[in-house]
Amino acid sequence: MKQRIITGIIGGVIFISFVIVGGWLFSLFITIVASIAIFELLKMKKISPISLMGFVSLLSMWLLLVPTAWYDQVIPFSFSKVEIFLFLILALLMFTVITKNTFTFDEVGFVILSSVYVGFGFHYLIVTRELPEIGMILVFFVLLIIWTTDSVAYFVGRSLGKHKLWPDISPKKTIEGSIGGVVGAIVIGTIFYVFYPIFPNYVITIIIILITSIFGQLGDLVESALKRHYAVKDSGNVLPGHGGILDRFDSLIYVMPILHLLLLI
């Protein structure tokens, strides 16, 4: 527990510092974090990061990760990011033939889905931070809702939890804890809105709080299902006492695309 607390404090200070600084330093930091996350996924699948497929996975993830403005400045072609990503998918499918199924269709699907999961998730985190004037506050708001949900759900679940939320995926989570997490998020999110009314009205604020809290918990379950499928306890060991990058960012990278796709931020 002591190691977990120390790691949490140090990691939190580092992450919050980069959020405050913003700009290219924040984007570079997130790129490093996302690269570690894709390596964690590859290791779950027993694909060596130091291999052709490891390199392709990293490249495809970077393609989806980088802000469009960066892409337009660096890539001299007229193809969009999505078009190049589609070409990459076709190349991977062709590779299954060239390798005579040494590299299988299943592995192609894993590489593609992993790249989308990590790349788009962290991409929208960068995009949110780059929003003029309110970017930093928005990131802190989403982080606060996620952290509040996790913390309140943990304590409510331990003290009042009797009904399992999804025992086949995460045996310790309870329905009471999940509901408590949402309620806690509403309370803290409302207090935040009183001091920083960054949304047009309170109704929109509540909608964003609910989506962030509920889908943040779902994002955590998605990663738990992934780890259970590949029979691993943690996604990695880069964060002593906490596991890997995906163990800490699973809710955030699941929620960010949803909030953007629903045009809520």
Give the 3-state DSSP-derived string for 148-192, with helices as H, strands as E and coil as C.
HHHHHHHHHHHHHCCCEEECCCEEEEEHHHHHHHHHHHHHHHHHH
Give the Cα separation of 198 and 76 in Å (integer): 38
Judge if pTM exceeds 0.85.
yes
3-state secondary structure of 243: strand
Same domain as 209, residue 183: yes
Is residue 74 scored above 70 in pLDDT?
A: no
Out of 67, 102, 130, pick the residue that ends a domain: 130
Same domain as 112, residue 18: yes
Question: How many domains are contained in the chain?
Answer: 2
Q: Which of 169, 251, 250, 229 is nearest to 45 (CA)?
A: 229
Same domain as 212, residue 119: no
Residue 166 bridge partners (DSSP): 170
Same domain as 165, residue 88: no
Same domain as 120, residue 106: yes
Q: How confident is the model over 196-212, as pLDDT tens digits?
A: 999 999 999 999 999 99
Out of 109, 130, 151, pick the residue that ends a domain: 130
Out of 91, 112, 130, pick the residue that ends a domain: 130
Same domain as 261, residue 148: yes
Q: How confident is the model over 109-164, as pLDDT tens digits?
A: 888 999 999 999 999 999 999 999 899 999 999 999 999 999 999 999 988 888 88
pLDDT the model gives residue 22: 92
Same domain as 62, residue 15: yes
Same domain as 177, residue 190: yes
Structural domain boundaries enclosing 5: 1-130
Q: How confident is the model over 1-53, as pLDDT tens digits?
A: 566 677 778 888 899 999 999 998 999 999 999 999 999 999 888 888 888 88
Residue 243 bridge partners (DSSP): 239
